[in-house]
């Protein structure tokens, strides 16, 4: 299914690559949350015998991974707060799971809010 960016509201139109990058970040929202939870409960692999200097950067690697994932999760959450509550679920399900928009509002209304959601997320991530 082709991802189409509406051109109706010019101030929310992103370059194609930026739009697609932001869409994929939003689509990975659930996976990012799961990875953050997994990082917190995982333990480093035991070392296999004496090798190297014995100094590990494992905790630093966990902090860096968690920081990047948390930054993306927060950006999506902040963008979602700018969308009216009645449209949030429909917009997120359309982006993440590619479900059709619900029938409780016009398709164009949901499409407009989806476009704004992607734009606000890109803005929060400082991509734009």
pLDDT digits (tens, 9 = 90+) for 1-24: 577 787 888 899 999 999 999 999
Residue 124: how many other CB atoms lie within 10 Å: 19
Total domain count, the chain: 1
Among 11, 128, 125, 26, which residue's Cα sits nearest to residue 68? 125
- Asked whether the whole model's pTM tops 0.85, one would answer no
Listed in sequence order, the residues at least 6 apart from 47 whose beta carbon sits closer than 8 Å to its beta carbon are 56
Does residue 101 sit within a domain? yes
Domain with 26 in it: 11-41+57-124
Q: Residue 51 falls within a domain, yes or no? A: no
Angle between helices 29-41 and 16-27 in degrees, nearest 10 = 50
Is 6 inside any structural domain?
no
Question: Across all residues in the chain, what is the average pLDDT?
Answer: 87
The span from the CA of 17 to the CA of 113, in Å, is 20
Q: Is 37 part of a structural domain of the chain?
A: yes
What confidence tens digit (pLDDT) does each residue in 63-80 have?
Answer: 888 899 999 999 999 999
């Amino acid at each position: 299914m082709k991802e189409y960016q509406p051109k109706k509201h010019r101030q929310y139109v992103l370059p194609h690559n930026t739009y697609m990058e932001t869409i994929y970040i939003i689509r990975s929202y659930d996976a990012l949350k799961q990875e953050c939870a997994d990082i917190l409960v995982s333990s480093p692999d035991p070392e296999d015998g004496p090798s190297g200097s014995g100094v590990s950067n494992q905790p630093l690697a966990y902090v860096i991974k968690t920081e990047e994932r948390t930054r993306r999760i927060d950006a999506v959450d902040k963008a979602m707060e700018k969308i009216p509550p009645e449209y949030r679920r429909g917009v997120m399900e359309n982006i993440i799971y590619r479900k059709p928009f619900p029938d409780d509002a016009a398709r164009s209304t949901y499409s407009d809010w989806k476009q704004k959601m992607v734009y606000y997320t890109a803005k929060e991530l400082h991509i734009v």
